[in-house]
Amino acid sequence: MPDPLTVASGICAAGALLSSWQLGRRAVRAEAEIGRLQAELTAERHAASHDPLTGLPNRRAFYRLAATLLTDRSGYHLIAVVLDLDDFKQINDRYGHAAGDQVLVSVAQRLATFAGDNLVARLGGDEFAGLLASPTLDRRWIDHATRRLYDMLAAPIPMGAVTLRVTASVGLAPVQDSQLNEALNRADAAMYEAKALGSGRPGRALRDTAYLAEC
């Protein structure tokens, strides 16, 4: 006949193993739940600060990130860039909003490629902005960067059987004394001046030249 103490000891050991297994399962479930909640929080934060179509930072995030950049220029000049697509409404009217969305995504990707590690954002509609770090305010350097940006944006956008070409009017202005809003206003004014010149002007980009060096 089995020893009652041995039986009781075995039962206790089995119970302990079961409890340990259950605790392990609970820990795994708790860890998975924490991971899920963290992923949801990250996704919510990203959605709150990024444009859902292009993935670029939105207007609110642009100003928040720009404020951080203004506190640490690392010896570089900062140049505000504002650009607006030309005749974008005609693309929506002729090809549909899906085509218009694809154009915006392509423009956002090209702008991000041009900017590299610099800050770019979609402010809304077909308006984009950037804050570019420049080693100099030499006018030739700025002109070269502007032409390169314009050429990148004007490259053909294939859409199945259709290939679209879009251009943008661009305005740039150096940021002086950390006055971001003032620089953006000057860049915006330069952009609208470029747009008013019409398609006959190659490049359709103007610089606020008041603070550029004549080099």
Catalytic residues: 126
Q: How far apart are CA 4 and CA 11, in angstroms?
A: 11
Q: In this structure, which long-range contacts are made by residues 24-30, counting pairs with CB atoms below 8 Å and at least 24 apart in sequence?
A: none
- For 3, the 3-state DSSP assignment is coil
CA torsion angle 40 42 48 52 (round to 10): -80
Q: What Cα–Cα distance (Å) separates residue 132 from each residue in 66, 135, 137, 200?
A: 10, 10, 11, 28
Q: Largest alpha-carbon pair distance within the chain?
A: 106
Strand partners, 50: 57
Q: How far apart are CA 206 and CA 60, in angstroms?
A: 26
The candidate with the shortest Cα–Cα distance to 131, out of 141, 146, 121, 144, is 121
Helices 180-196 and 59-71, packing angle to 10 deg: 120
Identity at 122, one-letter amino acid code: R
